[in-house]
Amino acid sequence: MTTSSNTPLGVAAIGYAFMGKAHSNAWRNVASFFDVPAFEQKVLVGRDADAVSEAAAKYGWAESATDWRSVIERDDIHIVDICAPGWMHAEIATAALEAGKHVLVEKPLANTLGEAELMTAAAAKARARGVQSMIGFNYRRVPALALARELIAEGRLGTVRHVRAAYLQDWLTDAESPMTWRLRKETAGSGALGDIASHAIDQILYLLDDSVTEVSGRLQTFVDQRPGPTAGALEDVTVDDAAWVNLSLASGAIASVEASRVATGQKNSLRIEIYGSLGSLTFDLENLNELYFMDATVPVREQGFRRILVNEPEHPYLGAWWPQGHIIGWEHTFTHQIRDFLTAIAAGESPSPSFEEGLNVQYILAAVEESAAAKSSLIQLPARATSTVIEGA
Amino acid sequence: MTTSSNTPLGVAAIGYAFMGKAHSNAWRNVASFFDVPAFEQKVLVGRDADAVSEAAAKYGWAESATDWRSVIERDDIHIVDICAPGWMHAEIATAALEAGKHVLVEKPLANTLGEAELMTAAAAKARARGVQSMIGFNYRRVPALALARELIAEGRLGTVRHVRAAYLQDWLTDAESPMTWRLRKETAGSGALGDIASHAIDQILYLLDDSVTEVSGRLQTFVDQRPGPTAGALEDVTVDDAAWVNLSLASGAIASVEASRVATGQKNSLRIEIYGSLGSLTFDLENLNELYFMDATVPVREQGFRRILVNEPEHPYLGAWWPQGHIIGWEHTFTHQIRDFLTAIAAGESPSPSFEEGLNVQYILAAVEESAAAKSSLIQLPARATSTVIEGA
Amino acid sequence: MTTSSNTPLGVAAIGYAFMGKAHSNAWRNVASFFDVPAFEQKVLVGRDADAVSEAAAKYGWAESATDWRSVIERDDIHIVDICAPGWMHAEIATAALEAGKHVLVEKPLANTLGEAELMTAAAAKARARGVQSMIGFNYRRVPALALARELIAEGRLGTVRHVRAAYLQDWLTDAESPMTWRLRKETAGSGALGDIASHAIDQILYLLDDSVTEVSGRLQTFVDQRPGPTAGALEDVTVDDAAWVNLSLASGAIASVEASRVATGQKNSLRIEIYGSLGSLTFDLENLNELYFMDATVPVREQGFRRILVNEPEHPYLGAWWPQGHIIGWEHTFTHQIRDFLTAIAAGESPSPSFEEGLNVQYILAAVEESAAAKSSLIQLPARATSTVIEGA
Amino acid sequence: MTTSSNTPLGVAAIGYAFMGKAHSNAWRNVASFFDVPAFEQKVLVGRDADAVSEAAAKYGWAESATDWRSVIERDDIHIVDICAPGWMHAEIATAALEAGKHVLVEKPLANTLGEAELMTAAAAKARARGVQSMIGFNYRRVPALALARELIAEGRLGTVRHVRAAYLQDWLTDAESPMTWRLRKETAGSGALGDIASHAIDQILYLLDDSVTEVSGRLQTFVDQRPGPTAGALEDVTVDDAAWVNLSLASGAIASVEASRVATGQKNSLRIEIYGSLGSLTFDLENLNELYFMDATVPVREQGFRRILVNEPEHPYLGAWWPQGHIIGWEHTFTHQIRDFLTAIAAGESPSPSFEEGLNVQYILAAVEESAAAKSSLIQLPARATSTVIEGA
């Protein structure tokens, strides 16, 4: 599908829940800050006609619809943004790509490897025809992380040796918090692993421009039953509350990843520490305007992690926003994502991260699950004395 | 050996390098701050007569000696504080215990499991005769960590679910940093694992009053050759630069531990995070006067990690020092250690951590090495595309 | 002017530079997140026809215009949002209020006290007819500061004794940074004092719900000449680079305020510390999602400043945005401001801060200038030895 | 008095309370870490014979005595360290100097300007005879602050423009905290001003190597009556709880200082921020091993305050202590002070800070009191509306 540069691109979004709201916000605002190809927020799609109509009005879409297929058939739609649940991704994405629509799909690519592979094949085929696709790992568009990638690519860390990543949340801390579709394997695919460890893993690959050669992992469900809809009845939680991952990278670096939904007091703390032979970087998503950089090439006397407030016109994406020190928020990463997606489409280039990259992350997650199931690395220890003070003889 | 409470305890220390200096400082100062049984800094032992004589004068010891055996034979020595290298621990400690001397030994208990087991047996036998022994995991005497243990014991965290510990240093970051005995397996036993991960593991057991049931681990040497004494000649590094450990605890909690000597910019960062159903704690040794506590039982609106400056008379050990806000340093943990050791001896009680506890940590370290050698948990991945942007079609 | 609740409110904004962009962003997004009365972004006004037309398209306004008077004459305009320079405020605001338009005006209210008094009189008169007005001290809408005000009002700090506020920026650090209208008294009114100390002073009054009884102050211009447009020619800077203010409050509390545009490394650091008999609060605008609260009523053993991530549905304004831990940015304060303005209009209530409150801040600033000019508090000291080491006899 | 370098210097200390304990600790330990001239802890002086005898034994002094005059008469005493209350300083110091003893006196130099001037004259006279004297502003010996001074002297900050200093404590927050001699003008001289603002002022002069030309100030007693020893009876507090100071420096820089004993939650927070044309520094005594440095000469993209853990052998004083990252505490500043004092004596040089420097600080404090009493800078404001929301018409 070739788009005349004179016709605004018509955009449809599928889904209006949390991610639909975040993507809509990005579409509504991107052109106010960035110089992007002309587009129109044509239609928002959802299953409940009244609700989606209300959401469309609220979020800046011209129309609403209840059938995503009808939207894909429209000639005035050039871009489909898929914010629907993971089990719907494959069907919608392949249909849209075949119909010649550029596709942006929220992560994870799909709930199963098979579906993800089908989507990746469809994307490759479409790409050959100039139809673009991208997966929504929005944290690649955090300016501080984009700056981190630049510094690493410039060799400022020297040889990267190890990476410590963690994604810590606490919304499942309360054991009385009820059962939801997110806690069932059949609907959610996995727990903390797929939902948030996936972000950390994608970041590591992005920041280091590296690939994974070996994987080991462990998964744990701390609260294995939770209240169901029937009063008094407990249901089984079938996904992990927490995940521990160890990755060998092709470069020789080693990365550890820990993800949790029961890390009490941590709200949305994606932390990354990267240690190289010449310097280091650390980051925390709860303070996403900041990057900490340690330059080990300056004299020892004055070395130290410096807090870079990534908020200057010199920093990635920031020239479009506010004067220095006027910080941006989490939602801005989606605006940057749309900007990069539109820019690539206009340039006829393939945006990144591609479906291949999304599939790659899924292979890694699958390997974690395989390793965790095998438990082959666990050495059993006999029962022993604890640290309790031994009473005097 | 029974000590009349009227006779001051005679103390001998073996070793005057880094640990000897730190222990001597504690002996020299403990009675100025704490109400401890009377003792005398009798003799400091080292191999080089001139150097040990000078060190003795500098560090407050009445005499020096070059043969530790001669010291153990003396009737006026009641306590032997072993700060010699790990491979000498077993011989000195067993001889001292048999001679009826109370023994404090620096960690690790010994370089081999066999030696550690012998020492533990000797300690048990001696204890039955009222002769006490202790291993020097001095970080148990950090006031903030002692407070953490109290809060956990009082149930303030509820059920502890997971623990994240790391001990990060950077003194081996420079690949040109020369070969030393600490980097050879035969002299050092292990690398970051035994030297610093051991501290983190002991802390976890101490803080949670728990024991380990399962272990998995990974070890890595990032710089596998370093300059030897001969110009231009490289020697093989045979211990690990970094270690990753995953522990199952008897309580059901899971702990991860990461240790590194190449974490550029981290100087002595022993960090511990403990997540429970009702609250959390975090700590960093580089700011050892601070404990961060999140109490999840207060209203959500006002929840948050609070920085407790553990520097009040109400806090463990602090009543002896300075007014609030006048912070203490790393060396004070050794002073507290001597205080607890002397107090236990006076009370006829067995001090903690015992040799059994030290041996227990060594079993865990051995299991890490076994797991790391097996590599059985590692799942291989085929080569894949990296995150590099794929050029447009 | 009565507005039927069925007719959407027509909005006009005057100005499209920094503040115009920030206000436009708020108008464009407020209805996507908050339940506000219906309104329409009718017209954006600016002097350059092409530029304002482009800005209108970019920022979501239906039309553009070059004459603000023509806009005030329109019946379909019910709200005028004044983002023009300070010297234009009085004329536009009084005309708009007389024409029955609700008015939002950026701070400062005006460049002179006389103009500000006229505007306040016009606002009072208009208010009697149901026409509302508000001044844009947007930092009142930082959720963390709104929470701070709630906690203080609930008595959580007990008797507030002193307040330390500072607003530190560094955009004038470079002495070669060129002359601008902001550095001339006739165009800017004042420097750091009016531009940023004003925000700090308004916050103190807002947080404590208090008023000022006594003022003293000092002003300083560190770089008193800067390059003008003619190469090699320097022009005089006639406003302050930094200001120091001391305020007595009616409650008996005392507040200090320091503002600077040459605080190298501080980008937009509005810091507030409030010390009371039962607790304390601290805040920094560079981390605007965080409020630090010290509750001195909990046992001393566990007291400490806690970092509240003000990002929960329980917190002011936050229910409308994203899940916990997904932080918001600086621009969101304007969205909250529009929400509160619209809500007050719909309810027929007078929004706060009123023009009276804006005028009040200006009286305080004028008193600072009076005190600074008098220099009556300065005690002269004779020349003395510095701290230099005195050489030995 | 000439001391043969072969005879150890005999030291006497007067006073064994808080400061006596801190100074004794320094004398007991300095030679274990630093290469200093030989000395002996001869005698500790106090008024209560039993208590001082016990303290002497505990703190490492060979003898105790109750009459300071008798000590000054002894030939084997070469150094007198005065830790007695301020009102005793003048008499002891002048007698000791006249007797040819080197004198170290705790700050403040004296409780009155007259006494301080007498002492300074005596010190000048003694210095001419090779008898040295020093005042104990121990924070000059914080390694991080010594490093700060070096960086400033090297021009790393460029032209220093302004300094923000605060010394915040909270031990008087509780209004029920009883009356003590520290709260009466006749015994204490002043409150927060003399006790802690003095430290901040001395630091500013030390760090910038500058002098004060103009002073203004304000003092406040928030809790003006406190419980006396008689049940139910309140006594008047006659010193300040908090002080605000503004200083013009000879270099053209301006410094603000705020001191408080009712800053709830701040324990011993001496904070210093120094802003220059090329860089900045910040420091907090509660984390005294850290210095934050912002180097504005590196590219903007990577600028930021860096946390230097001032704990490397390259840093002032640190080579004598422990390996990097093993932090030191507050008490170490006294050890450094004794080291510098002894080193100067051995070299026949005058140590710094001299009595002249101590007197200089007292002149500044006196000027603050004069300015505060005059209240001439305060502009009165009429009663005005607070920030309370004005109800709608």
Confidence of residue C178 (pLDDT cuts 50, 70, 90): very high
Q: Does A213 touch chain B (CB under 8 A)?
A: yes
Has residue C239 been placed in a domain?
Answer: yes
Q: What is the pLDDT of residue C374?
A: 87
Q: Which conformational region is residue C352 in: left (phi greater than 0), alpha (psi within -120 to 50 degrees), or beta?
A: beta
Q: What are phi and psi of D195, to 5 degrees?
A: -75, -45
Q: Are residues D274 and D257 in the same domain?
A: yes
Tell me the angle at which helices D18-33 and D332-347 cross, rounded to the nearest 10 degrees: 60
Q: Do C277 and C284 contact (CB within 8 A), yes or no?
A: no
CB atoms C293 and B300 under 8 Å = no
d(CA B264, CA B154): 37
Question: Among C259, B152, A315, which Cα is nearest to D275's?
Answer: C259
Pick from B190-199, B253-262, B316-325, C185-194: least confident: C185-194
Contact B350 A391 (CB under 8 A): yes
pLDDT-above-70 percentage for chain A: 95
- Could you tell me which residues come within 8 angstroms of residue B85 by beta carbon, excluding any fewer than 6 positions away? B15, B187
Best residue of D214, D381, D388, D391 to probe chain C, by most C CBs closer than 10 Å: D381
Mean local confidence (pLDDT), A206-232: 94
Domain containing B225 equals 143-287+289-328
Give the one of C269, C285, C327 whose C-beta lies nearest to A329's C-beta: C327
Supply the CATH number for residue C63's domain.
Answer: 3.40.50.720
The pLDDT mean for chain A works out to 94
Verify that A179 and A319 share a domain, yes or no: yes
The verdict on B180 and B270 lying in the same domain is yes
**Is 50 exceeded by the pLDDT of residue C391?**
no
Using CA atoms, how far apart are residues B373 and D46, in angstroms rounded to an integer?
66
Average pLDDT over residues A124-147: 98
In sequence order, the β-bridge partners of residue B331 are none
pLDDT of residue D186: 87
The verdict on a CB contact (< 8 Å) between D302 and A302 is: no
Q: Are A322 and A312 in contact (CB under 8 A)?
A: no
pLDDT at position C177 over 80? yes
Give the pLDDT of residue D393. Answer: 29
Nearest CA in chain A to C36: A58
Final residue of a structural domain among A114, A138, A162: A138
Q: Who has greater pLDDT, A378 or A291? A: A291
Determine phi and psi for D352, rounding to 5 degrees. -125, 145
pLDDT for C387 equals 40
- Cβ within 8 Å, pair B28-D29: yes
Query: With an 8 Å Cβ cutoff, are D28 and B25 in contact?
Result: no
**How far C293 CA sits from the closest chain B CA (Å)?**
8
* pLDDT at site B377: 65
Residues C219 and C269 grouped into a single domain: yes
Give the gap in angstroms from C-alpha A74 to the nearest C-alpha of chain B. Answer: 25
Looking at the structure, do residues C54 and C198 belong to the same domain, yes or no? no
**Which pairs from C333-336 meet CB under 8 Å and 24+ separation?**
C333/C138, C333/C139, C333/C141, C333/C142, C333/C288, C334/C22, C334/C23, C334/C25, C334/C26, C334/C136, C334/C138, C334/C141, C335/C25, C335/C26, C335/C29, C335/C30, C335/C33, C335/C34, C336/C138, C336/C141, C336/C143
Q: Mark whether B187 and B91 lie in a shared domain.
A: no
- What are the pLDDT digits (tens) for D18-71? 999 999 999 999 999 999 999 999 999 999 999 999 999 999 999 999 999 999
In a shared domain, residues D109 and D231: no
Q: Does the structure show a pLDDT above 70 at B383?
A: no
What total number of domains does chain A contain?
Answer: 2
Strands of chain A (E only): list them: 9-14, 39-45, 63-65, 79-82, 102-106, 133-136, 160-168, 212-220, 225-227, 234-236, 242-249, 254-260, 269-276, 279-284, 290-295, 305-309, 379-380
Q: Please check whether residue D160 lies inside any domain of the structure.
A: yes
CA distance D244 to D166: 9
Per-residue confidence (pLDDT) for residue A385, from 0 to 100: 46
Indicate if B31 and B59 belong to the same structural domain: yes
CB contact under 8 A, D307 and A306: yes
- Runs of H (alpha helix) within D234-388: 332-347, 355-374
Residue A305: name the closest of D291, B260, D311, D151 by CA: D291
pLDDT at D156: 98
Q: Is A308 on the interface with D (CB under 8 A)?
A: yes
Q: Is D139 on the interface with A (CB under 8 A)?
A: no
Which pLDDT belongs to residue C375?
79
Percent of chain D with pLDDT over 70: 95
Average pLDDT score over residue span D351-370: 96
CB contact D300 to A (< 8 Å): yes
- Same domain for D30 and D162? no
What residues in D contact A309, CB-CB < 8 Å?
A: 304
| Residues C273/C284, Cβ–Cβ less than 8 Å | no
Q: Is C278 on the interface with D (CB under 8 A)?
A: yes
Q: Do the bridges between strand A39-45 and strand A9-14 make them parallel or antiparallel, or are there none, so unpaired?
A: parallel
Beta-bridge mates of residue B215: A379, B247
As a whole number, mean pLDDT of residues C213-233 equals 93
Q: Is residue C148 part of a domain?
A: yes
Q: Across the interface, do D350 and C279 touch by the CB < 8 Å criterion?
A: no
Query: Residue D374 has what pLDDT?
Result: 87
Distance, in Å, from the CA atom of C193 to the CA atom of C201, rounded to the nearest integer, reads 10
Q: Are residues B233 and B313 in the same domain?
A: yes
D177 touches chain B (CB under 8 A): no
Helices (H) and strands (E) in chain B, counts: 11, 17
Instruction: Give me the CATH number covering residue B206.
Output: 3.30.360.10
In a domain, B225, yes or no: yes
Residues C140 and C353: beta-carbon distance below 8 Å: yes
Q: Whole-model pTM? A: 0.96
* Whether residue A95 is found in the same domain as residue A156: no
Q: Is C376 on the interface with D (CB under 8 A)?
A: yes
Of C64 and C391, more confident? C64
Which residues on C lie below 8 Å from B300 (Cβ)? 312, 314
Chain D contacts of A293, Cβ < 8 Å? Answer: 302, 304
Q: Is B339 inside any structural domain? A: no
Among B138, B173, B203, identify where a domain stops: B138
- Subunits in contact with chain B (3 or more CB pairs closer than 8 Å): A, C, D
Find the CB nearest D267 among B29, B325, B331.
B325
Examine the domain organization and report whether D196 and D302 are in the same domain: yes
Question: Would residue C44 count as lying in a domain?
Answer: yes
**Token couple for D146:** 């010594």
pLDDT of residue D189: 86
Task: Tell me if D183 is assigned to some domain.
Answer: yes
> C278, C311, C328: which is the final residue of a domain?
C328
pLDDT of residue B1: 42
- Nearest CA-CA distance, residue D300 and chain B, Å: 21
Is C379 among the domain residues? Answer: no
**Tokens for D17?**
């309370």
Tens digits of per-residue pLDDT, B122-144?
999 999 999 999 999 999 999 99
Residue B389 above 80 pLDDT?
no
Chain B residues in contact with D287 (beta carbon < 8 A): 287, 327
pLDDT tens, position by position, D117-173: 999 999 999 999 999 999 999 999 999 999 999 999 999 999 999 999 999 999 999
Q: Which of B152, B293, B306 is the best substitution to test chain C (most C C-beta atoms within 10 A)?
A: B306
Distance CA A276, CA A279 (A): 5
Residue carrying structure tokens 């000059």: D140
